[in-house]
Amino acid sequence: EAGVTQSPTHLIKTRGQQATLRCSPISGHTSVYWYQQALGLGLQFLLWYDEGEERNRGNFPPRFSGRQFPNYSSELNVNALELEDSALYLCASSSGSTGTSGTNEKLFFGSGTQLSVL
């Protein structure tokens, strides 16, 4: 069974540009989570999508946005890139129930997209 896949593996952008990161969850998983892991910092929660809807959002500015498609894959878009956006962006999926958190389902993570903003 394929795990969570993320693309691209690496992405290099310059300040002010836009970045689009993609994630395909494990087959059958409806929930997708995005996390940012900046160097020296812990994982910071960005967004949670379930059944095509944004369920929760972390403490990030609006230029971080995303969506979930009918096949449950997801995109994370970062507009007006800043140097401090350089980080490893991790996507995770679970088979959580619609509209709830606390699903007691394990999260399965992809290998991440390393975004470098120059």
Partner 1 sequence: KQEVTQIPAALSVPEGENLVLNCSFTDSAIYNLQWFRQDPGKGLTSLLLIQSSQREQTSGRLNASLDKSSGRSTLYIAASQPGDSATYLCAVEDYKLSFGAGTTVTVRA
| Binding footprint of partner 1 on the chain (CB under 8 A) | 4, 6, 33, 35, 41-43, 45, 48, 56, 58, 88, 90, 92, 101-104, 106-112, 114
Q: Which is nearer to partner 1, 17 or 101 (CB)?
A: 101
Q: Which is nearer to partner 1, 11 or 43 (CB)?
A: 43
For residue 90, the minimal CB distance to partner 1 (Å) is: 6
Buried-state track 33-72, b at ≥16 Cβ within 10 A, e below 16: bbbbeeeeeeeeebbbbbeeeebeeeebeeebbbebeeeb
